[in-house]
Amino acid sequence: MSPKDWVLLVIALSPDRALQPLQLQKALYLIGKKLSPKALQSGRFYKFEAHDYGTFALDAHSDTEKMVAAGLLWISQELWPSRQYLITPKGQDKADILISRLDSEITSYVKRSLEWITSLTLDKLRRKDVASYPSIKLARNRSQRERLAIAIVAHLSDTVSVSWMLTLTSAATRLS
């Protein structure tokens, strides 16, 4: 199973089959920390970094956007300014096959984690992330320039390629 499959699995197993980006990132982070490579059925998983709003993996964000483009997920703006990823029927069909390959204990753990994550407001989820992982506190102390560049990258992520985002982020780091 690839890390990208876990994005689909997590959204399919979530209580409403929909997650906001922060919830998705948190779920993937917890899964990657808790489950062994054998349980993940993958030799690699996303690498998370500390960011202002918690743990973040750019590759997970990129994979999610690719699944939107492939018609496996769609984005709802009903919670504007936030967005929400929802699974499509095509995505659910693929997720059902992936879920059938999982051990029931793993499926149960993922569902319990998602119930906890979705029970919290985004602000509480972010605060729990910051309190639990000291490196996130360091990320909150970034320079103004770097924070502005990251905000621009996040805003442009819908229209700019991942390579451009990485270039902008790298440039922002050098400016700091």
* 18: three-class secondary structure by DSSP: strand
Mean pLDDT in the chain?
Answer: 82
pTM value > 0.85: no
72 and 150 both lie in a single domain: no
Same domain? 91 vs 164: no
Q: Looking at the structure, tell me whether residues 107 and 152 fall in a common domain.
A: no
Tell me the residue range of the domain where 9 lies.
3-140
Q: Is 49 in a helix, a strand, or coil?
A: strand
Taking residues 151-163, what's their average pLDDT?
57
pLDDT given for residue 174 in this prediction: 57
Same domain, residue pair 150 and 75: no
Q: Are residues 48 and 124 in the same domain?
A: yes
Determine the pLDDT at residue 54: 75
**Could you tell me which residues come within 8 angstroms of residue 115 by beta carbon, excluding any fewer than 6 positions away?**
15
- CA count, 13 A, side-chain hemisphere, 166: 8
Identify any residues that bridge with 85 across adjacent strands, giving them in sequence order: 19, 75
161 phi and psi, to 5 degrees? -65, 160
What are 5-57's pLDDT values in tens digits?
999 999 999 999 999 999 999 999 999 989 999 999 988 999 988 776 778 89
pLDDT value at residue 37? 92
- Please say whether the beta carbons of 128 and 26 come within 8 A: no
Tell me the per-residue pLDDT of 105-145, one tens digit each, with 9 for 90 and over.
Answer: 999 999 999 999 999 988 888 777 656 655 555 455 555 55
Measured CA to CA, the distance from residue 104 to residue 135 in angstroms comes to 33
- Measured CA to CA, the distance from residue 60 to residue 92 in angstroms comes to 19
The reply to whether 115 and 175 lie within a common domain is: no
Are 70 and 154 within one domain?
no
